[in-house]
Amino acid sequence: MAETVPAPYVTDGTDFRGALKYHYGIALRRFAKFGIPCAVIFVQMYLWPMEYRGFLLPVAIIGFLGFMFTSILFYARMSMIWNCSRVFRTYPLEFRGPLEQGRLENRKQYLRFSQQAGQLVTMLPKDPLQRSGWPKRAVDGVWFAGDDPFGGAAIVPGTGELLFMQPSEWHQTAEARENAGGDRITQAKRAGIKKAVRY
C-alpha cells in the first residue's frame, strides 16, 4: 500500500482542477529532473572538437537512451492525466464506495465498486504517475466520474491520487456498452472512454 500523505489540494469532489494541475506539475518536474539532464549529456558531445567525440560517444549514447526512456514515460503520464481530464470535464463526480479490492496480477490491482451501483464491474485502475503500491484510502471509497461499462476516473479522498479506470474484462462488458443508449454512448465518446485505452 502507498503511504498516506495529505494532498495539497481539495479532494472532496468539489474541484478536480487542483488534482489535474498537481499531477501535471509532478510529471513535468520528473521530466525536467531526469530527461533534460540526459538531453544535455547527449548534446554536449557536439560541443567538443571532433577528435574528442570518439571518447564521448559512450556517454552520449547513455544520455540519448536516458532521454528517450524519460520522454516515453513523460508522454505516458501526460496522456493518462489528459484522459482523466476529459472524463472529469464530461461526467460529474460522485462518491462511490466502499471498494472491493480484488486480485493483484502483474503489478495490476483489480477492484469493484459496491453493489449500490446496481452491477458489479471489475475495474482496472491506473495511477498516471505510476506510483508503487495501492492508495490506502481508496478502499473506503473514491470520487468517481464515468460510466461503469465504459470506465472513468477517480480521485482518492484525502490523499488525492488520480486513478484512471476501465473494465478489466473489456470484451465481457461489450453488450452493456452496446445497450447503454445513444446519450450514454455519445457521452462516453466525448470523455474518451468509448474504446479501450491501452496502459
Alpha helix segments (H runs only) across the chain: 17-30, 36-43, 50-88, 174-178, 182-191
Q: How far is CA 16 from the centre of its chain?
A: 14
Q: Specify which of 20-24, 42-46, 97-101 reaches the highest per-range mean pLDDT.
A: 20-24
d(CA 27, CA 169): 29
Average pLDDT over residues 70-87: 96
Candidate from 22-26, 52-56, 175-179 with smallest mean pLDDT: 52-56
In the predicted structure, residue 116 carries a pLDDT above the cut 60: no
pLDDT exceeds cutoff 80 at 51: no
pLDDT > 70 in the chain, percent: 87
Least-confidence region, from 49-53, 65-69, 72-76, 168-172: 49-53
∠ Cα 104 106 111 (to 5°): 30
pLDDT at 127 over 80: yes
124 band by pLDDT with thresholds 50, 70 and 90: confident
The whole-model pTM stands at: 0.85
* 128: exposed, middle or buried (Cβ count in 10 Å: 0-12, 13-18, 19+): buried
Distance (Å, whole) CA 63 – CA 43: 8
Mean pLDDT of 118-133: 79
Predicted pLDDT of residue 9: 87
Q: How far is CA 73 from each of CA 28, 129, 169, rounded to the nearest angstrom? A: 11, 9, 25
Average pLDDT, the chain: 85
